[in-house]
């Protein structure tokens, strides 16, 4: 009845841990939700009002997306990237995840996935019937590939087409890629296209965010959307920006869009114009300030000789590695942590690590972001006292993990 292609696929682990956490909470258990990555902040009120004002919009829109939205997205991106993108370069989708899937379907070549990488890249590549080349990374390189290791893969067969997925700031590591120039040199030298997943780019903790598109725009597809910076994960609006040099890819994705999702919800698209046309710098800066402070708190209080962590540089994740031989796999360890402490985490094996490596992804978003933001919007430096007041679950979870790690 089922194709062999899908028989061994599992539900997305990020969505699955959210359901497990909900079930345990409904049974009355105290669960610290460090497993699911979702913005803790509410959608800005002016954008919500635009959604209300456009609830009557009930017609199918262009399969590539509402032109007015594509225009403001192109202008917004051009200003940030210092590159002239036009509305025709933009494709609006029901979340960037769907657009990535269509890219996997149409791409003829090999997919290069750094380890670690987001949980859905590999399953989508399998569904697209593409061969995956896993590219191992190291802690000292911020968990990003070196140009040398990338080139080694491509040199094995320079006649093939390659698609590298580069996610910075990264899910699951919370790190920012620092060797973009070197990676771009490899892209310009070979048949390498880069999918730059920039869904967390507005939440970089420093002001000097750089995209790989700043170095090789003609080889880069930018992927991002509303979900992370705008707190609108459930709205399902993402987009690709595809350069003129990759017009064939853009046109083919549009064809598949017409045969799959047809068009993104009209009210959502009209509301999204407000998100990109108006200035939301204060909201973004407040979000970043809170996430940076909370992430630093987790890093500072959880790090030890038994818990190795890189300090987060953007987004809302970090990746602790536990130094112990007590468990055979990261999955077994996560189950033990959940049972013993009530802290829900995701095993590193879900992100491409060998199962024996006892590494996990921790999402530090289990707090009411709106209350936190309302009470600290004038605070440049957020103290530990404020974190304890407005993010008590974070404090509790870190304390439980710290005590658990001392038993190793």
Secondary structure in 3-state letters for 152-220: HHHHCCCCCCEEEEEECCCCCCCCCCCCHHHHHHHHHHCCEEEEEECCCHHHECCCCCCCHHHCCHHHE
Indicate the class that CATH gives domain 49-277. Answer: alpha beta
Average pLDDT, the chain: 94
CB-CB neighbours of 400 under 10 Å: 17
pLDDT band at 21 (very low <50, low <70, confident <90, very high): confident
CATH 3.90.1150.10 residue spans of the chain? 9-38+281-405
What separation in angstroms does the CA of 359 have from each of 81, 87, 313, 364?
A: 34, 42, 18, 16
What confidence score (pLDDT) does residue 397 get?
97
CATH 3.40.640.10 residue spans of the chain? 49-277
d(CA 216, CA 177): 15
Question: Average pLDDT for residues 133-140, to the nearest whole number?
Answer: 95
Among 175, 174, 181, 119, CA closest to 150 = 181
pLDDT digit string (tens) for 269-325? 999 999 999 999 999 999 999 999 999 999 999 999 999 999 999 999 999 999 999
d(CA 84, CA 45): 30
d(CA 212, CA 210): 7
**Angle of helix 369-376 versus helix 281-302 axis, rounded to 10:** 110
pLDDT digit string (tens) for 346-392? 999 999 999 999 999 999 999 999 999 999 988 788 999 999 999 99
∠ CA(47), CA(49), CA(51), 5° rounding?
A: 75
Peptide bond into 116 cis (omega under 30): yes
In CATH, which of 3.40.50.720, 3.90.1150.10, 3.40.50.740, 3.30.300.130 is domain 9-38+281-405? Answer: 3.90.1150.10
- What is the pTM (predicted TM-score) of this model? 0.94
Please determine, for residue 8, whether its predicted confidence score (pLDDT) is greater than 90.
no
* Cα dihedral 308, 313, 314, 316 in deg (nearest 10): 30
């Amino acid at each position: 009845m089922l194709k062999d292609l899908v028989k061994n696929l599992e539900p997305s682990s990020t969505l699955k841990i959210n359901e497990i956490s909900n079930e345990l909470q409904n049974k009355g258990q105290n669960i610290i939700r460090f497993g699911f990555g979702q913005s803790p902040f509410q959608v800005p009120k002016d954008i919500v009002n635009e959604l209300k004002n456009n609830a009557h919009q009930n017609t199918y829109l262009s399969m590539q997306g509402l032109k007015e939205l594509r225009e403001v997205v192109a202008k917004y991106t051009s200003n940030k990237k210092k590159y002239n993108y036009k509305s025709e370069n933009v494709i609006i989708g029901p979340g960037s995840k769907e657009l990535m899937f269509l890219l996997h379907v149409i791409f003829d070549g090999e997919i290069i996935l750094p380890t670690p990488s987001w949980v859905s890249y590999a399953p989508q590549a399998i569904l697209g019937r593409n061969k995956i080349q896993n590219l191992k990374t190291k802690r000292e390189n911020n968990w990003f590939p070196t140009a040398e290791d990338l080139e080694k893969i491509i040199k094995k067969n320079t006649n093939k087409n390659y698609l590298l997925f580069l996610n910075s700031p990264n899910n699951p590591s919370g790190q920012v890629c620092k060797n973009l120039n070197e990676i771009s040199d490899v892209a310009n030298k070979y048949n390498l296209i880069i999918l730059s997943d920039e869904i967390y780019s507005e939440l970089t903790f420093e002001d000097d965010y750089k995209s790989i598109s700043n170095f090789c725009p003609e080889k880069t597809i930018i992927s991002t959307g509303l979900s992370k910076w705008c707190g609108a994960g459930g709205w399902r609006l993402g987009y690709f920006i595809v350069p003129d040099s990759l017009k064939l890819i853009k046109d083919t994705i549009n064809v598949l869009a017409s045969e799959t999702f047809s068009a993104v919800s009209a009210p959502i698209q009209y509301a999204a114009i407000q998100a990109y046309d108006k200035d939301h710098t204060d909201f973004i800066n407040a979000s970043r300030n809170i996430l940076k402070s909370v992430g630093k708190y987790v890093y500072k209080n959880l790090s030890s000789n038994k818990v190795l962590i890189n300090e987060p540089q953007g987004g809302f994740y970090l990746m602790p590695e536990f130094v112990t031989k007590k468990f055979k796999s990261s999955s077994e360890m996560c189950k033990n942590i959940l049972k013993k402490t009530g802290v829900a985490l995701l095993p590193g094996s879900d992100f491409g690590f060998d199962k024996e490596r006892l590494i996990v992804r921790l999402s530090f978003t289990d707090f009411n972001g709106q209350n936190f933001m309302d009470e600290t919007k004038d605070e440049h430096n957020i103290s530990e006292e404020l974190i304890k007041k407005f993010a008590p679950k974070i404090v509790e979870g870190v304390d439980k993990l710290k005590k658990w790690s001392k038993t190793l």
